[in-house]
Amino acid sequence: MTRVAAPRSAAYGSPAELVAAAVEDRSPRAVARLISLVEDDSPWLREISRLLAPRTGRAEVIGVTGAPGVGKSTSTSALVAAYRAAGRRVGVLAVDPSSPFTGGALLGDRVRMTAHTTDPDVYIRSLASRGHLGGLSWATPQALRVLDAAGFDVVLIETVGVGQAEVDIASLADTTLVLLAPGMGDGIQAAKAGILEIADVLVVNKADRPGADDTYRDLTNMVRLSGLTGHGGRGGRPGAGGGVAGADDRWVPRVVRTVAAEGGGVDEVVAAVAAHRGWLAASGELARRRARRAADEIEQIALAALRARFGDVHGTGRLGALADDVVAGRLDPWSAADDLVAALT
pLDDT digits (tens, 9 = 90+) for 199-224: 999 999 999 999 999 999 988 888 88
Q: Which residues lie across from 96 on neighbouring strands?
A: 128
Confidence of residue 247 (pLDDT cuts 50, 70, 90): very low
Per-residue pLDDT tens over the stretch 62-108: 999 988 889 999 999 999 999 999 999 999 999 876 544 444 455 55
DSSP assignment of 13-29 equals: SSHHHHHHHHHTS--HH
The whole-angstrom separation of Cα 201 and Cα 269 is 8
Q: How confident is the prediction for the chain on average, in pLDDT?
A: 82
pTM above threshold 0.85: no
Comparing 6-10, 12-16, 224-228, 286-290, the range with the smallest average pLDDT is 6-10
Return the number of other C-beta atoms located less than 10 Å from residue 122's C-beta.
21
Alpha-carbon distance values, 290 to 45, 67, 210, 281, 314 (Å): 21, 26, 39, 12, 36
pLDDT of res. 302: 86
- pLDDT of 281 > 50? The answer is yes
The whole-angstrom separation of Cα 48 and Cα 41 is 11
pLDDT of res. 315: 64
- One-letter amino acid at 62 equals I
